[in-house]
Amino acid sequence: MKAITITKYVKYLSSIMLFLCSTSSLFAQDEIVEKPRFSFSGSVDAYYRANLNSANAGENYSVPGSSFANLPGFALGMANVIAGYEGEKVGFVADLVFGPRGEDAVFGTPLGSSNIINQLYAYWNVSDKVKLTFGNFNTFLGYEVISPVANFNYSTSYLFSYGPFSHAGLKADFAISDDFSLMLAVMNPTDQTTFNSSGTYAFGAQLGYSGQYLNALVDHGAFEIDFTGGFDLSDSFFLGINAAYFDNDEDVSFAGVALYPQLATSDNFTIGLRGEYFSETNLGGIGANDINGDANVFAVTLTGSATIGDLIIKPELRLDSASEDTTFLDNNGEPISSLSSFVLAAIYSF
């Protein structure tokens, strides 16, 4: 009788333990599987800018021939709001921008309702190796991007400023192996991100190997080839590289190379330099006063980056030295070939 009672007790206890283990396993599985499907992120930035050898207001005020961070005194960058949905196979990204930097970034949009859209696309993970993206997405060319969060230097390079900002179209990303990747795209002409007004199309390609990328863009008689990459030379020292060449059938061209050495002195502070050489032919940008529109510029930008939680403070000194004496103006309105400036930026990301 006693043996029977003990046996029943053991069976009863075993059943309870099995139930508890099964329940615990179920909860554990739920914890692993569950993840946020919607995401919300973005940034805000503002800055102070002052010329050191030129006027800081009025008709003699001079700026580098690159995009963004060119307003005098205390100025606004932009508010960037990104909403996304990531499903098992499909998802979308809606990237909106507000403020002067955002307006400059979407300058090609002709419709008032679209002038806050930085990116707007849907995607489909066809398999582990293939992803299709459809809509408006930022360019795959170049080292720098529109968002100040992803750039080390706050002001931007000539290479970034002269290249495309965004495209509208269909692109396919292929993961060939752990090291190799390939992207192919068919798109509207450059900067036509809301609709196609010309009836022609551009074609893009990117070949990647271990963080190094060779990019190409063919756009109705024009082509651009671009290399973007970087190397960790040590645990604290990184070297980024960008080089590009553009040409079209109207004998307009530009070419340049930029190096980005960066040294992390602590967990919260990094100092970096951007050294860039850039030249143009028949463009009339930095060579606006040259009879042939030909000019070149050497620009050096020294930037510090201090992280305080989600806030980044960036003090920056920049020197632009151009081949044309008339590229910039001094305090008295006299033409000069070089411009030195200071920027202090605050960037908060969430």
Which domains, from first to last, does the chain contain?
37-349 (2.40.160.10)
pTM of model > 0.95: no
**Separation of alpha carbons 133 and 319, rounded Å:** 39
**Separation of alpha carbons 157 and 256, rounded Å:** 10
Q: Identify the pLDDT of residue 341.
A: 98
- DSSP assignment string, 100-113: HHHHHHTTT--SGG
Q: The tokens 């207001």 sit on which residue?
A: 57
pLDDT digits (tens, 9 = 90+) for 221-264: 899 999 999 999 999 999 999 999 999 988 899 999 999 999 99
Section 55-77 average pLDDT: 96
> Rounded mean pLDDT of the chain?
89
Q: Identify the pLDDT of residue 294.
A: 86
Q: Identify the pLDDT of residue 21.
A: 47
Q: The tokens 């043996």 sit on which residue?
A: 3
Provide CB contacts within 8 A for 309, sequence distance 6+: none
Q: Identify the pLDDT of residue 282.
A: 84
**Separation of alpha carbons 203 and 98, rounded Å:** 29
Q: Is the dihedral of CA 124, 126, 128, 132 positive or negative?
A: negative
**Separation of alpha carbons 84 and 119, rounded Å:** 11
